[in-house]
Each structure stands twice: as structure tokens, then as C-alpha cells.
Structure 1
Amino acid sequence: MADVVLIGGGIMSATLGALLSRVQPDWSIVLLERLDGLAGESSGPWNNAGTGHAGLCELNYMPDPDDPTTAESIGRRFGLSREFWAALLDGGDPPAAASVVTPTPHMNVVFGAADVDYLRRRVATLRRSPLFSAMEYTEDPELIRRWAPLIMDGRSGDGPIAATRHQAGTDVDFGALTRALVDAMTARGARVRLHLDVIRLARGDDGLWSVTGRDRSAGTGFRLRSRFVFVGAGGYALTLLQRAGIPEVRGYAVFPLGAQFLRTRTPDVVARHDAKVYGQAAVGAPPMSVPHLDRRVVDGCPAPMFGPYATFSTRLLTHGSLLDLFATVRPRNIVPLLAVGVRNLPLVRYLVGQLLASRKRKFAQLRRFYPEADPADWELVQAGQRAQLIKPDRRRGGVLTFGTEVVTGADGTIAGLLGASPGASVAPSVMVDLLAACFPRRVEGWAPVLRELMPGVRGLTRIPQGNRDSRG
């Protein structure tokens, strides 16, 4: 018997567990992971871009250059993440936060008159906000060369080019961060159990959840009972929520997308690139496919990478089954699936083009950012698998979304996370909102601890000033 069961050993479960172990230290918390270690899926350091998403360089968060709403919201929420990580991890020797968050300038580089005009307008809008007032902008090739020499060396100089830079950007090792947060929660009594594959969730007449599945190492079954369940199982989350029978996911479906990156460890290339450089997505590409040439720091070792190149599989987890996608199909989500397929033909064409692209063609995309790139220096690596959320829509049948969504059961005893970016970067504020939704009677008492961990939390999350709801 547990008070809380967390399904999935990634950044979301780790964040929620670390929060709950602070605000309610007397609760029993159990984290279940199907693999032999934590952060083996999308939270793994090479399974994501590691960008501390703060709205500084992600052009897909601001398709309208005159509307900064989304970029500002993500920027503020990432500020809460920095506060939370520092509060939990800076007490060590050496501080764990220093090993997972690396200062790395965030840049944009765009080519052609239309994109230069867009970027110029975007910067003018963002600079009105204190969050972005330090953003630099230039159309001077020599200044861009000083900011990111790989971008300009060997470039012919034909056509307009523009760039932005914000030196307060970060690179985040979400794998190391996940492990550090789990260490913080286990130090307060939480338990972690590996090799446990959750298969079914069922609500009993007593109101408790029965969590059943298979022990992958012993080949035996297991069963746990819990007052509250969080499904942070990545692409497998929808399947478990469907099996739990909660009406909140009726009609929901998922569209799997994978990715590959080119990576180099060549010392000269590593030494000459110290930024995350984002460009514009290709026509028809999903927002998560914005091309970027990034400096990554994993286990203390820097390595530039470029991508992503989209891949497709019916697996919903990197270590999943080819039958995963088909297991999510229900009578209620067939119409949303078909509607999204019909209305997103440019996306389908983009994916087909990506799947058929040769290594030579992929390398040509890198050379648009880094003209002197040597194919011998780069290796192609597989990144994580994403399950983009499809939601039913009365007018359009179904809508493909590219954000992060928390689904909570009506009685607040179960919740799950669906979708992708910028989830990991804003996990603390997402989990605070989850606490407010699922534990409204308790969260007011937790508010002082939450504000101690994240002083900027007021006004950015759903922490109530008072609530007499019967749940909690």
C-alpha cells in the first residue's frame, strides 16, 4: 500500500516525487520504471536536445512576431524551474545543479529577406519584456562570425542573414537532472523499483487504485495499491490512462515521431562552437523539427549536434513494441486520427521525405548551418521517441497538438502527462499545477513550502488562496 505511485522513471515523475517528498514528507511514494535504470527514454541526455526552453531562440513558440504570449509564459516558467533545481540540488558538495545546467548562449540564425524581416520584428517585440531585454540582434556577418564561427566560415555571403543572441541561455542534461531529483526524493524516504512493467490500472470499490504488471527481471507478476497514481510513462501514458478507464481521455490519440541527430566529438569543432543555434522549420515540418546546431554538455563532456531528422515508428517508446500505436486505437479516436491525417498532408509529405533522405542529403542540411562541416567528423545517432497528442475537436474532427498536457481524473486520484516539448524544461510549474488540480484542499497548506522552493511561483501557477473542495 502506498500513498503515491509514480509510473515512469523520467523527469516528470522525478519532479513530482521530489515536490511531494518536500511538501508531504510523511507520505509513502513509490516510483516504478520498466527499464534497468532511470531516464532511459525521452529524458536521456542524447534522446532530447537539452535546450533549457526559455523562449529565447525557439521560433516555433512565436509564429506571429508581434505576439510574445507563449514565449513569455515559457520564459517565466523556466525561471521557476531554475529556482526549483537550485533549491533542491545546490546543497550538495559539489552542487548537483552545477553538473546538469550549463550556461550556453541561445541564438537564432535565419536566411533570406522574409525570415530576416520576421526575426527583426520578433526581437523588437520581445525586447519590450524584461525577460528578453538583453537579447542582441545583428545583420552583420562579421559579428555573427564572432558569436558562432562555424556558422560563417566558408559561407559565400549570398543573400541576407540575421542572428540573435541571448547569453543567459542554458544546456540541460535532463538525464543527470532526473537522477539527482530521484536521489533527493529517495533521501526523504521514497522508493524506486526497476524492471516493473505496468500493464493495468483499476479503481477498486474502496477508492484505491490497483497497479498491476510484470516484473521483467523475475518473470513474475506484481500488484500495488495506491491512493494516487501519476502516469509519467512518456509515449505509453495514453495506453495506461485508457486502460484505467478515465473518461477524460476518450477520443484522444497519439501520433509517434522519432528523431535522429548528427553528433561530433572532433576537438577543433567542439572548441569553436559555444551556442545553441536555432533556425526556421522547413515548410510542412512539425514545430519540434526546427533545425538547430547545438553545443551539448553530457557528463561534463561537450559535443555539438545538429538535427533533428524525423523518423517514424509505430513504437511509442524507444524500448517499446511495434504494436504500441495500434494498442491505443479505440472506436472514439478513429475519427480524430483520420481527420488529422487528411488535414496534415504537408506533414505526411515532410515525414516521407525525411524517411527517404540519404545521409548525403541529411548532411547537406547541416552544411546550410555549418558550410565547412566534414562528413568524417560526424556520426548519426538515434534520439528518443515522442508521442504527439491528437485531441478530438467538434468542428475539425481532431487536432494534432505539439505541446504538453496534463490530464487529471475527475476525482483527482489519477493524473497523467501527454505530449512533448517544452515539458521537461517547465516540469516544476506543470507539477505545481497538477498538485493544485488533484489536491485542492492540501495545496494551500503546501503553498509556503512551494514558494520557498520557487519564490516566483505566485501568479504563474494554479496555487489557490483557499479552496473548500472535498478532494485532497
Structure 2
Amino acid sequence: MTSTAASPATSATDLLLVGGGIMSATLGLLASHVRPDWRITLVERLDDVGLESSQAWNNAGTGHAGLCEFNYTPRRPDGSVDITAAVSVNEQFHVTRQLWSALVAHGTLPEPASFIRPVPHMSVGFGDHGVDYLRQRHAALQEHPLMRGQRFSEDRQELAAWLPLMLAGRSPGEPMAVSRSEAGTDVDYGALTQHLVAALRRRGATVLTGHEATALRRRGDVWELSTRTDQVSAPTVTARLVFAGTGGGTLPLLRSARLPEVAGLGVFPLSGQFLRTSRPDLVQGHRAKVYGHAEPGAPPISVPHLDLRSVQGEESLLFGPFASFSPRFLQHGRRSDLPRSVHRGNARTLAMAALDHPDMVRHLLAELRRGAGGRLTALRRFVPEARPEDWELITAGQRVQLVRPSAGRATIVGFGTEVVTSADATLAGLLGASPGASTSASIMIDVLGRLVGPHAPSWRDRVRTLVPSLDTDLADDPALAASTTARTDEVLGLL
């Protein structure tokens, strides 16, 4: 996909999507379904869509559903496990699956194997603490209709059959337990984004790649987006409605729009690194995505995982994450991103964040000091016989942690995404990252209602043709949950 060859000095559109990731692509498809008569324009700074956070190697491809991630099932002070977040994420992923299924059935998306496939999701507990945590987590999830069917085992023979690579060379006396869900998936969000944008173009949308958004201003009853290409001023795009989904670039763009709702907000960038191997015998010895638990006192972002990945037909294993630091807000951003984002309104908030979250600061400093030996030690916790020559270090996507003031303190929004909307409901921006892509349909249906809903009275009826459970909590209707899962499994080839 290349940039539009020629553009007028100013182009007008009904809905402007800034950023070419999974969120903008999803919103664009939904909007074109609700208002097929609208002009839709997507602007992306890179030469193709889906190359930042949505790109396959810039995320774990987990298709987060709360099945294996300890992040969403924290322990309460009394030792019990809170599954509220896991159930919520699982419900949202079911909404996303319904949307993808409908688009496949309608021929809007191609063969689903090009972007999704079944991969078991597992959780592993190491040591007495980890085994007890996992046992209680499994018991709590089994009580919920959306999470039933997971298996729990401490039997070494069974674990060796499930995870031969992880059991080879492991001490037989080490306490270890695993829970296994067959409902897991591996998703190539980069490929999916490109499929969605290709469909959007077929529906008449304008896609401007190689166009960097530099400023957003209100002019009368429209928004004006200034862009540039290769450091040269480019056409201005005017739009009635705007969605900013540019990852780390969203907050600066909303600030340029003088949106009062973002006053005082700050962001702090984090890079992620992973160890990767494509050695066939290692890949064949690990046919799952396995999430561990954070060590006591460590922040949730430190949860390690060993993932089977399939990208463009090639299978690999990915282990991490290892935190690193770059002042860029995007992987292809600028080193000046962080210093330019600090101003009088958020400087104190950013400073307080470091004081209020010492565990995260300690974790980041420890990660920055970790060398190749430390990374190998962490890997051998999962793969006891790992050899350094079989694994390469790769840098994954750039994320920004949203920092917001709260009662004189600072809160780091580590998990969850936030939608900020202007008072007149003509501008919306997405802040935050995880679980992000896997909940894209739910989040973008919310944005659709805020931006497009006032201009399409029957929008919910139209969306319901794609997402039948739109107004029903699957968690409250086990029969509907079962039938929805069976249908989407069949259409998406996940059986």
C-alpha cells in the first residue's frame, strides 16, 4: 500500500481516522457499515498500515481473553483471586470474535487462517507460592460460565505431554502446576489490520500513507488536520468527526487540539524486548502460549510468557518481555517525543508518578541493568535447557503508560484503554495500550456510538447484524455464550 499519488491542497471528509492501526481500521469498517454514504479518510505516517503496535512482532499476538494472563486475576489481601478483569476482557474478546466472524462470512475479510489460529493458552505456577496461586485462580475461573473447561494439573507426566520443552531438564522436585485452556488463539494483528484497511478502500475510503499528522485545530464547525510528508507540508484534511488512534502520538495530537479533557495528563514510554527462536525442534516442543506470574512485590507488567507465534507462515517462539527504555513515543518516533511532552500542566504529575510507584521504578531500573546473562537466567526458568546461541534478542513495539493526576497524587494506568471525547462529541482519542487489539471491537463500538451515533439513529441495530450479542452480557447467558462461541469457532476455523 502506498501513499495517494496526488492530493488537493485541502480535502474534506465526514470521518477522519488518524493512525493506521487495528483500532482505526476497526472503527472505519464499523462506520462504513453504519453510514455507507459517508466519506472516510485514514491518515498514517508510515508507508503502510499496521506497522506500529499492530505489527506482528510488536505484540504477543495473544488474542487476550483473560484465559492465561495473571495480570487480570490479582490476588486479594486475603489470598483469594479476583477474576473481574479476566471476565470483562473475555467478554470483550467474544465481541471482537463476532465482528471478525461476520466480516469473514460476508467476504469482507479473507480466509481467517491468514490472521488467526487456535493455540492453547496456559498458565504456569512455579514454587509453592505459584502453585497455590494458580490453584486458586483455576478454581475461581471454573465458577464462571465463560471460563469453564480449563484443566489444572500438577502431574509431571501430563505436564511433559503438554509442554515438553519446559519440562525437559527440570528438577523433578520443583513444585509446578499448569492450567490449560483450548479456547486460546494466536492473532497476527498486522495482517488483520491490512485486511481491514484493504476492505475499507474497496468501500471507497481514502487512505493517505506516508502522511504525518502534525496538528489538529478547530475551525468553525470542522476540524483541520495539518500533515506533512518527508518533512514537507502536505494537504490539510478537514473533517466533521475525528478519531485519534495513534498510540503514543494520540496525547500530543489531542493537546494540539486544545482538548480540556487531557489537561494534566502525561505519558511515559516503555520499550519491550523479547528473546526469539525459530529452531524447528524447539518450536515443535512448545505448542502453546504460557504465562507465568510476577514474583512477589514485582509490578504486573513484569509477567513473563513463552509464546508460540506464527507470522507470515513461519513459526517461532517468543519469550519475555524485558523492559527497556527509549524517549520515543512510537517505535518509529523521535527522541524528542518525551521531553517535548513535558509542560507546566503535567510536570508535577509525572514526577509524582515516580514517587507513588516505586515498584515500577525499581523494576525498570533492574531491567535496564539486566544483561544477556540475566535474560538467559529468566528464560531458563521456563526452558531449563535453553542455550544462548539458539535465541536472538529483538525489540518489540513501543508503548506509553498513561499518567493521570488523582487527588494530588499520580496514577499510572498500566492496564486498560481510555477513550477521551470532546464535549461536542466530534473528536475522540484512544489512550492506553493493554489489552488493546483483542478488545478492539468493543472499544470501537463505544467510540462509534459517541462520534457516529448522533448522526445515525439506528446505528445499534446495524451493528447488531455484525455482533448479535451487542446488548447482552454473555456472562449472564450461558446458552448464548455457548452458541456464540460455537458459531465463531466454526467460521474462524478454530475447531
The residue that corresponds to 1:336 in the other structure is: 349
The residue that corresponds to 1:279 in the other structure is: 292
The residue that corresponds to 2:121 in the other structure is: 106
Instruction: State, as a whole percentage, how many aligned pairs show the same letter.
Output: 48
Matched, 1:81 2:64: no
Are the aligned partners of 2:401 and 2:412 in contact in 1 as well (CA < 8 Å)? no
Are the aligned partners of 1:253 and 1:336 in contact in 2 as well (CA < 8 Å)? yes
Return the alpha-carbon distance in structure 1 between the equivalents of residues 41 and 54 of structure 2.
Answer: 19
Whichever residue aligns with residue 25 of structure 2, its letter is A
The residue that corresponds to 1:216 in the other structure is: 230
Return the alpha-carbon distance in structure 2 between the equivalents of residues 284 and 175 of structure 1.
Answer: 34
Q: Find 1:356's aligned residue among 369, 376, 382.
A: 369
Whichever residue aligns with residue 423 of structure 2, its letter is A
Return the alpha-carbon distance in structure 1 between the equivalents of residues 227 and 298 of structure 2.
Answer: 38
Return the alpha-carbon distance in structure 2 between the equivalents of residues 422 and 320 of structure 1.
Answer: 22
Q: Find 1:119's aligned residue among 134, 137, 142.
A: 134
Deviations 1:310-353 (A, max 9, x none): 01111100111111012221212122111111112221121111
Q: What is the Cα-based RMSD across aligned positions, in Å?
A: 1.7
For structure 1, the 5+ residue unaligned runs are 462-472
Return the alpha-carbon distance in structure 2 between the equivalents of residues 323 and 340 of structure 1.
Answer: 20
Equivalent residues, number: 459
What is the deviation of 1:198? 0.7
Return the alpha-carbon distance in structure 2 between the equivalents of residues 204 and 459 of structure 1.
Answer: 40
The within-5 A match list for 1:69-468 is 69-92=84-107, 95-205=110-220, 207-216=221-230, 219-283=232-296, 285-442=298-455, 444-459=457-472
Matched, 1:27 2:38: yes
The residue that corresponds to 1:58 in the other structure is: 69
Whichever residue aligns with residue 322 of structure 1, its letter is R
What TM-score, normalized to structure 1?
Answer: 0.94
Are the aligned partners of 2:293 and 2:304 in contact in 1 as well (CA < 8 Å)? yes
Return the alpha-carbon distance in structure 2 between the equivalents of residues 449 and 270 of structure 1.
Answer: 43
Return the alpha-carbon distance in structure 1 between the equivalents of residues 265 and 170 of structure 2.
Answer: 46
> Equivalent residue of 2:135, what SS?
helix
Are the aligned partners of 1:89 and 1:180 in contact in 2 as well (CA < 8 Å)? no
Are the aligned partners of 2:403 and 2:410 in contact in 1 as well (CA < 8 Å)? no
What is the deviation of 1:283? 4.6
What is the deviation of 1:443? 5.2
What is the deviation of 1:439? 3.6
> Equivalent residue of 1:416, what SS?
strand
Are the aligned partners of 1:389 and 1:402 in contact in 2 as well (CA < 8 Å)? no
Distance change in 2, residues 1:437/1:93 (3 Å)? closer
Return the alpha-carbon distance in structure 1 between the equivalents of residues 390 and 249 of structure 2.
Answer: 35
> Equivalent residue of 1:331, what SS?
coil
Whichever residue aligns with residue 252 of structure 1, its letter is L
Are the aligned partners of 2:299 and 2:359 in contact in 1 as well (CA < 8 Å)? no
> Equivalent residue of 1:453, what SS?
coil
The residue that corresponds to 2:478 in the other structure is: none
Return the alpha-carbon distance in structure 1 between the equivalents of residues 94 and 325 of structure 2.
Answer: 33
Distance change in 2, residues 1:21/1:202 (3 Å)? same
Whichever residue aligns with residue 15 of structure 1, its letter is T
Which is bigger in relative contact order (C-alpha 8 A, separation at least 6)? 2
